[in-house]
């Protein structure tokens, strides 16, 4: 399905990123991992990077531009238990900087997949804040958080809302070259950050877990990412797929009076 294709995967050291890298390799792709830790899965190349380091990120971008990749899977992310400045930098600012730094060098008909989250629900109510972050750089994150009320309690939600909105905004941005952008929004998934996620969400997370039959696993999410990176999803543009065991459907149905 992806024979002779080169895919860049951020966050490939663990969780959904590691499983995505594994499944991409199984599908015949050449995988370039980007992470601060050594990748768990077999990959063809590895760029070690702390996404909070702007200079190091720019150096990796220059290195990866030579690849002319066929796909980019933006999976790297940090949990809401970290300081809001770190969450915003890694989950949003670095994601956008890497993507925009690489997009001109991607092959025609390339696919970009952003890992969002069920936490991105409600982005429509945060458009002003999302737009205020449009040109945000690493250096400006702390001031942005202070000015816009981005705190430890809401930083993760904000970043995922912004990623969903950014995906929608770029549905046709590179259409002339056939480059498309889509997103995947998992619910709670058994990854190294699940404990941190549940700790931050508290009662809300406990209620969600009662409704779900089980949390997801990386093996539930990775095939959706791989599909969006493949030619089979070529007519999907600006789509945000809820891979959450039905939680998004449940929220939509119950909030609109459906049983």
Q: What whole-number percentage of the chain has pLDDT above 90? A: 87
Contact 58, 101 (CB under 8 A): yes
Look over the chain and give the mean of its residue pLDDT values, rounded to a whole number: 94
Is the pLDDT at 185 greater than 70, yes or no? yes
Residues catalogued as catalytic: 156
pLDDT tens, 20-74? 999 999 999 999 999 999 997 899 999 999 999 999 999 999 999 999 999 999 9
pLDDT tens, 162-171? 999 999 999 9
Instruction: Report how far residue 60's alpha carbon sits from residue 220's, in angstroms, rounded to the nearest whole number.
Output: 30
Domains of the chain: 6-255 (3.40.50.720)
Contact 138, 52 (CB under 8 A): yes
Token pair in block for residue 119: 């936490």
96 vs 208 pLDDT, higher one: 96
- pLDDT at position 212, please? 78
- pLDDT at position 41, please? 80
Tokens 């590179």 identify what position?
Answer: 174
Tokens 């600006």 identify what position?
Answer: 238
Instruction: Report how far residue 17's alpha carbon sits from residue 210's, in angstroms, rounded to the nearest whole number.
Output: 26
117 vs 206 pLDDT, higher one: 117
Is the pLDDT at 201 greater than 80, yes or no? no
Instruction: Report how far residue 127's alpha carbon sits from residue 4's, in angstroms, rounded to the nearest whole number.
Output: 39
Is the pLDDT at 127 greater than 90, yes or no? yes
């Amino acid at each position: 399905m992806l024979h002779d294709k080169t895919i860049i995967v951020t966050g490939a050291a663990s969780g959904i990123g590691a499983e995505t890298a594994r499944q991409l390799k199984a599908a015949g792709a050449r995988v370039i991992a980007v992470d601060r830790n050594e990748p768990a899965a077999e990959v063809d190349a590895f760029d070690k990077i702390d996404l909070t380091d702007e200079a190091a990120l720019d150096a990796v971008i220059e290195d990866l531009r030579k690849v002319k990749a066929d796909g980019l899977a933006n999976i790297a992310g940090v949990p809401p238990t970290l300081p809001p400045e770190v969450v915003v930098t890694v989950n949003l600012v670095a994601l956008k900087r890497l993507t925009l730094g690489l997009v001109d060098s991607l092959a025609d008909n390339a696919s970009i997949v952003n890992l969002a989250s069920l936490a991105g629900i409600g982005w429509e109510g945060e458009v002003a804040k999302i737009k205020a972050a449009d040109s945000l750089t690493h250096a400006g994150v702390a001031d942005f958080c202070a000015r816009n009320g981005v705190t430890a309690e809401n930083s993760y939600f904000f970043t995922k809302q912004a990623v969903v909105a950014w995906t929608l905004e770029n549905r046709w941005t590179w259409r002339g070259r056939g480059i498309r952008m889509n997103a995947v929004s998992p619910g709670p998934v058994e990854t190294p950050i699940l404990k941190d996620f549940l700790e931050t969400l508290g009662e809300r997370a406990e209620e969600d877990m009662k409704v779900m039959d089980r949390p997801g696993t990386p093996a539930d999410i990775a095939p959706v990412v791989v599909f969006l990176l493949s030619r089979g999803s070529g007519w999907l543009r600006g789509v945000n797929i809820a891979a959450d065991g039905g939680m998004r459907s449940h929220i939509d149905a119950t909030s609109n009076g459906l049983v």
